[in-house]
């Protein structure tokens, strides 16, 4: 299995407190790890050894940070450019990585999500062709899901509290056997001008076609999606101090 971190976005809503830096380089506190390191260490601790990072906005900051932090393991990483980051959304970042991902199962992470590393193993070992990690608790401003039995049947930011089953945390796994159909859907969306969508639009289309979109739970372990200063303040007070450090294998 490979991992793909989607880190091309500009993060305009966080700039008032974070400056001209990518969101994934937000630190948990002075001298503490960044969101990106939290993700990478969690992936490595789950046995994932090939990590792609889609870069765009301030790409060199990300590349230099990874090279400095993982100097001994830099061969594990592939940096993939999304030169159209200013006009596109994460569906395009996933699309530009399609050749590097070809033929492999993979886990895809939005780069603004910090999470307890114990959330990840259940997802990366899921037998479902597609698996979304969900929190049973409601979180404002994030994508919600509706679940029927063992399947996610609907995913949207417009799902109401009365119908929601969980909050999607921005991490999805894809089996190698679904990859061709996934990228066929993404190709069609991009070809028709929908390159500013979330890739979950393609996942929803696959679910509508009958593909099993499974889910695994956060099991009340801490996580945070950082979009704006309020998110960051909440995470620094209530989430970051609770994250268990990943035990990274050599």
Number of compact structural domains in the chain: 1
Question: What value, to the nearest 5°, has the Cα angle with vertex 156 and ends 227 and 124?
Answer: 75
Q: Where do we find the tokens 């929803």?
A: 204
Any domain includes 20: yes
Smallest CA-to-CA distance from 134 within 199, 214, 240 is with 214
Q: What is the CATH number of the domain that holds 233?
A: 3.90.550.10
Cα 122 from chain centroid (whole Å): 15
**pLDDT tens digits for range 160-176:** 999 999 999 999 999 99
Q: What is the mean pLDDT of residues 48-71?
A: 97
Any domain includes 231: yes
pLDDT at 24: 97
Any domain includes 218: yes
Q: What Cα–Cα distance (Å) separates residue 182 from each residue in 113, 200, 229? A: 23, 10, 34
Share above pLDDT 70 across residues of the chain, in percent, rounded to a whole number: 98
**pLDDT tens digits for range 111-166:** 999 999 999 999 999 999 999 999 999 998 899 999 999 999 999 999 999 999 99
- What residue numbers bound the domain in which 148 lies? 2-242
Any domain includes 180: yes
pLDDT at 88: 97
Any domain includes 249: no
Query: Residue 223: how many CA atoms within 13 Å on its side-chain side?
Result: 32
Any domain includes 15: yes
Any domain includes 208: yes
What's the predicted TM-score (pTM) here? 0.96
Any domain includes 248: no
């Amino acid at each position: 299995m490979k991992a793909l971190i989607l880190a091309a976005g500009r993060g305009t809503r966080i700039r008032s407190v974070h400056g001209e830096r990518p969101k994934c380089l937000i630190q948990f506190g002075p001298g503490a790890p960044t969101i990106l390191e939290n993700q990478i260490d969690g992936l490595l601790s789950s046995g994932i050894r090939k990590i792609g990072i889609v870069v765009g906005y301030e790409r060199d900051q990300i590349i230099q940070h990874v090279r400095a932090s993982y100097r001994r393991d830099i061969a594990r990483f592939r940096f993939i450019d999304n030169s159209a980051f200013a006009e596109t959304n994460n569906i395009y970042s996933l699309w530009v990585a399609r050749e590097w991902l070809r033929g492999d199962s993979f886990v895809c992470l939005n780069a603004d999500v910090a999470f307890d590393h114990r959330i990840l193993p259940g997802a990366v070992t899921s037998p479902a062709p597609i698996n979304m990690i969900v929190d049973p608790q409601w979180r404002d401003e994030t994508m919600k899901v509706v679940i029927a039995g063992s399947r996610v049947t609907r995913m949207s930011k417009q799902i109401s509290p009365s119908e929601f089953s969980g909050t999607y945390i921005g991490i999805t796994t894809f089996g190698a056997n679904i990859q061709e159909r996934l990228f066929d859907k993404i190709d069609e969306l991009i070809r028709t001008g929908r390159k500013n969508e979330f890739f979950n639009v393609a996942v929803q289309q696959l679910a509508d076609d009958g593909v099993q979109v499974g889910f695994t739970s956060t099991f009340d372990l801490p996580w945070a999606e950082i979009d704006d200063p309020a998110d960051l303040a909440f995470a620094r007070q209530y989430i970051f101090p609770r994250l268990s450090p990943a035990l990274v294998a050599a």
